[in-house]
Amino acid sequence: MLGATILSLVPALAAQAQTNDAPALLEEIIVTAQKRAERLIDVPLAVTAVGGDALENLRINDSNSLTNAIPSLTFQQGANPTNTNFRIRGIGTQLFGQGTEASVSVVVDGVVSARGAQGFAELADIERVEVLRGPQGTLFGKNATAGVINVVTARPSDEFGGRAEITIAEGNEYRAKSTITGPLSDTVRARLSGYYTNVDGYVRNVTTGKDVQGAEGWGARGKLEWDASDNVNVLFSMDYRKQDAMCCASVPIQLSNATMISINAPVVASRTNRQISENTDTYANTEQFTGSIQADWDIDFATITSISAFQKFNLDNNQPIDRTNSDPIRFLGGPSVAPYSAWDYNAGEVRLKQFSEELRIASNGSGDFTYVAGMFYNHIEITRPFNRRRASCVQNAAGQTPLAVGAACPTANLRWQSSGTESNLKQDGVSAFGQAEWRIIGDLKAIGGLRVQYERGKNSGTQFGPLVAGDAILAGTTYRPGGANSGTFVASDWATTGKAGLQYEVDRNFQTYGTYTRGYKGLGYEMEAGADFVNQSALEPEHANAYELGAKYVTDDRVFSINAAAFLTEFSNLQVQANRGDPILGIVRFQSINAGSSRTKGLELETTLRPTDELSINSSFTYAKSTVNVDGLNCPVQLQAGAPVVPGTSAVPYNTCVRRTAGGTAFQNLHGATLPSSPKYRVVVSPRYEREIGSDMAGFIQMNVSYQSAINFTIEQDPLTRQGGYALVDLTVGVHEIDDRWTVSLFVKNLFNKNYFTSIGHVSLLSSVAKTDLVGTFNKDADRYFGGSVGMRF
């Protein structure tokens, strides 16, 4: 009924279109991509800015959904928020560990997030989101080798006002958000906003009877702005967010092992499967607080800014990785050293505290010489406890007949293993930075920037033995019975990054530029269950050398604009997650490694067309070829058995599974392999048509069409984890009061019901006997659903 209502409104509204409407002016976009307010067209780097109204029009409720508007930005779902990641131009960091930073930095109101998990949040009361593409370390620091997502929330207003919105959608999805703002005195203004979200799970666990992949969360933000004097402004901000999520379950999408099929019954594996059969529910509960004070002192020719911030982030997570119902525990088959293992728990916490201080000076205006310079200090503390326990069913027990495949496990054959770790990381970093643009002749400007930074990290940890009396030590850990299991590792590093380039102003509405940028991402530390805290080492820093040519143009009548950029970025020591198989246990392990080298190159185009006051069309296109070279990588499990022997004295061919000796481990040396979750092409087109209905109302149609080409979810180039290209179409129709005092809309997500996944992988612990069995994760909008919203402003 709701879907029919939406579709019936489209022709009715479109029928009112006329062809004699006068063109409308595109709005001037102001951004702070270079830490001072500038016109978007004047910024000599590739930036996409999406305003708060546009986010609402496109129904972008959280940061993950930004990919629907920005083709250079992609998203890959991990097992929990800490290894879920953004990618820009194909580059990102998906590491199963808390000791490494993200390649895409998330900055909220000038405050840098220490880890990527802090950036996955509801987008409520937003002024705009800026996505800066390419290395941005000169101004934003060491965790921005791929780019920056710069979120700017709304400030208090000197006029009383507010807004509220309620959204209801299929699948028991409820969203509410509200804001109130206004003056408290002649010099003090305040703003208070909040949100509540509840989305029922859209994956059914047939064993527990629960729906998983849902979430309930709420948050509040308060701001107090004080004009301390005519030229001093102080902004106090506090933000709190909490979410309880049944995340992140993976559904069976391909099962070939007969016993696995039996164990998962009545779940039937397929690309459209929406069920799991697990005896333990997965969850990822997060809580975050941020408090900051920003003081701005206008000294006429420049503004001095101080941003002091404290952040706290907690994660409580359990991830059952056997992907099956383990009650009763069964013997799956395979060699006796590779039994089927059922996990009792695989759970841990992340407790993060962060303090940062930035002091900078930025020139006012847009004269012949503009600049920004400052210093930055950051202190991070992360505590990571993690416990694991599993039961294994061995094939043979003393005096017993070997088990048949699929048999329930007798007590005599049952073996329990467990272990735990607790690691503590402290990091301190300090840097000095500066960037300037100066007119050297006519309309030609030179660009120069430099950042010198020092970081020091101290990682301490302990590997615990069996957690339950009678358990054996969990296989694959580095626990040493009766020996040393604790250690402390200290590492430090100096780095210099910078930017150089030229900008030529053809006229006020036509800018061109060319830049070189040096990027840096800091040391990585091992904090997870398999860590050897006695013999620690650091993951090497990641470096980037980026080259970019760009042009930005808007017509004099401000009806059409186009931004274009060609880019090439070369990385060394790219920090990546790799699958490495253990030939004895038959277990696929996840390890953080430095890839030898990597490259991303391509082209980006963004256009905006507003031929009439009623019609606007935003479109953007990204071509990005992202490749990596890395030696000694594990082969896809299903290809290992047939790997030929290449003697140790012979050269290893690229991109081929080989082994050095008969029975040795199969490996591959990749050259020019595609990086995970990196489509070569992405396109987004967003037309909006709006027209007055009578004297006090207007109707609108908003569409968003996005397409991406094929990707592979693993660095090993596994043909089974490849996903073909697909397109998604979202549609919204509605009416609003002419002065926007109220709005009513109906929407459909994924209009044509196109199925897609946010990750695909093997059933991790069963790869030795189920080499082609796969699981996948997906968003709610992998299935079509309908909803509606009511909003008001005052």
| DSSP letter string, 363-403 | E-S--SEEEEEEEEEEEEEEEEEEEEEEEEE-S--TTSPPP
The predicted model scores a pTM of 0.90
Distances (CA, A) of 695 to 55, 548, 738: 27, 49, 8
Rounded distance, CA 381 to CA 234, Å? 28
Using left for φ > 0, alpha for ψ between -120 and 50, and beta otherwise, residue 35 falls in left
Per-residue model confidence (pLDDT) at position 11: 47
Please give the backbone phi and psi of residue 152, each rounded to the nearest 5 degrees, phi first: -115, 115
Q: Please name the residue that has the structure tokens 């607080």.
A: 289
Q: What is the mean pLDDT of the chain?
A: 87
Q: Hey, which residues does 704 pair with through a beta bridge?
A: 730
Judge contact between 189 and 183, C-beta under 8 A.
yes
Is the sign of the CA dihedral 52, 58, 61, 63 positive or negative? negative
Note the residue count of the chain: 794
Using DSSP bridges, classify how beta strands 510-521 and 486-507 pair: parallel, antiparallel or unpaired: antiparallel
Using left for φ > 0, alpha for ψ between -120 and 50, and beta otherwise, residue 632 falls in left
Strand (E) or helix (H) holding 53: helix 52-57
Distances (CA, A) of 521 to 93, 141, 411, 493, 592: 11, 8, 50, 11, 14
Per-residue model confidence (pLDDT) at position 590: 56
Strand (E) or helix (H) holding 623: strand 615-634
Per-residue model confidence (pLDDT) at position 538: 86
Per-residue model confidence (pLDDT) at position 764: 59
- Output DSSP code: residue 10: H
Query: 3-state class of 151 per DSSP?
Result: strand
Please give the backbone phi and psi of residue 501, each rounded to the nearest 5 degrees, phi first: 180, -175
Please give the backbone phi and psi of residue 541, each rounded to the nearest 5 degrees, phi first: -60, 155
Q: Which residues of the chain have pLDDT under 70?
A: 1-24, 79, 94, 96, 259, 321-342, 395-406, 476, 577-591, 764-770
Tokens standing for residue 602: 């391509």
- Domains recognised in the chain with CATH numbers: 2-17+30-793 (2.40.170.20)
